[in-house]
């Protein structure tokens, strides 16, 4: 059995929604989670800059001795996944392919909506993957710059969040979509608002479960699982304020975080050098 931990990273706290499913699917594995809160949000940044950040963090995690890296950030997956898979010695998986596959499987009228950050939409990975899976499917993408700050605010379920979701939903409703991809790991935290706005006739896709299953399958295929029956441990790090990360992070993870360590941007930069 391979006792090395699994590395998970995101621009901040949103990836904890993915980690939650990994903890449920892989309860015997250890995890190291790094949230790059000092440079949050990634969404409005240029893709080359996000790619650099992803290489710094993934290189640092590899240096910590992880056996697999999960990019729990849609923007970083969009910007950097192929390059990370090519340059690192450990397997690397992301969150976009499972969501695209789930959306194509779910849609009945082949009209799919995507709500995401600017960087994720600009990268075009969802459109590419959906087109590969079903050339006849139509993807309508909407950039949602207001959502991440609102979700991380003190009142994520307030009227302002609902108004923002209604605004972003309108072009998707006009396009007649029957399936909507929640293309940011923050968005599941306000899933009840999305469900209220879109109604039961629209399927919401957020594939944390599928991503966790992909991680489990990758470990099994590589023969690097941990011993079954043990209780895994997890470790949390941030480039930002550990106290703020702990307070907001428990909202996303829905589990206690315990101690949160701080890692400097300089240390991450040295790992990529």
Helix ranges (H only) for the chain are: 16-25, 47-63, 74-87, 96-106, 118-123, 125-133, 147-151, 159-174, 191-198, 208-222, 242-253, 265-272
Instruction: Centre a 10 Å sphere on the Cβ of residue 222 and count the other Cβ atoms it contains.
Output: 13
Annotated catalytic residue: which of 164, 184, 237, 257? 184
Annotated catalytic residue: which of 18, 32, 57, 73? 73
Clarify whether 184 is annotated catalytic: yes
Tokens, residue 35: 């949230």
Which DSSP string corresponds to 202-235?
A: SEEE--HHHHHHHHHHHHHHHT-PPPTTSPP-EE
Clarify whether 73 is annotated catalytic: yes
Q: How far apart are CA 161 and CA 183, in angstroms?
A: 17
Instruction: Centre a 10 Å sphere on the Cβ of residue 138 and count the other Cβ atoms it contains.
Output: 17
Please list, in sequence order, all residues whose beta carbon lies within 8 angstroms of the beta carbon of residue 134, skipping any fewer than 6 positions away: 104, 110
- The residues pairing with 70 across neighbouring beta strands, listed in sequence order, are 8, 93
Q: Annotated catalytic sites, by residue?
A: 73, 184
């Amino acid at each position: 059995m391979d006792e090395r931990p699994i590395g998970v990273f995101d621009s901040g706290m949103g990836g904890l929604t993915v980690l939650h499913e990994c903890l449920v699917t892989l309860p015997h594995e250890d995890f190291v989670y790094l949230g790059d809160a000092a440079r949050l949000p990634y969404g409005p940044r240029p893709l080359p800059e996000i790619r650099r950040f992803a290489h710094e963090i993934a290189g640092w995690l590899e240096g910590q001795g992880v056996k697999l890296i999960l990019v729990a950030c849609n923007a970083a997956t969009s910007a950097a996944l192929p390059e990370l898979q090519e340059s690192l010695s450990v397997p690397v998986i992301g969150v976009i392919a499972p969501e695209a596959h789930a959306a194509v499987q779910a849609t009945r009228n082949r009209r799919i909506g995507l709500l995401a950050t600017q960087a994720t939409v600009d990268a075009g990975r969802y459109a590419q993957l959906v087109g590969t899976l079903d050339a006849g499917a139509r993807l309508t993408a909407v950039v949602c710059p207001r959502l991440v700050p609102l979700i991380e605010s003190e009142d994520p379920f307030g009227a302002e969040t609902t108004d923002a979701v209604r605004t972003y939903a309108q072009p998707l409703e006009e396009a007649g979509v029957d399936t909507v991809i929640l293309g940011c790991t923050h968005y599941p935290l306000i899933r009840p608002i999305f469900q209220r706005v879109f109604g039961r006739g629209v399927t919401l896709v957020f594939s944390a479960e599928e991503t966790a299953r992909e991680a489990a399958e990758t470990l099994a295929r590589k023969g690097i699982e941990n011993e079954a029956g043990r209780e895994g441990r997890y470790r949390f790090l941030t480039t930002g304020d550990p106290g703020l990360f702990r307070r907001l992070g428990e909202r996303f993870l829905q589990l206690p975080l315990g101690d949160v360590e701080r890692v400097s941007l300089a240390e991450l930069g040295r790992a990529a050098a």
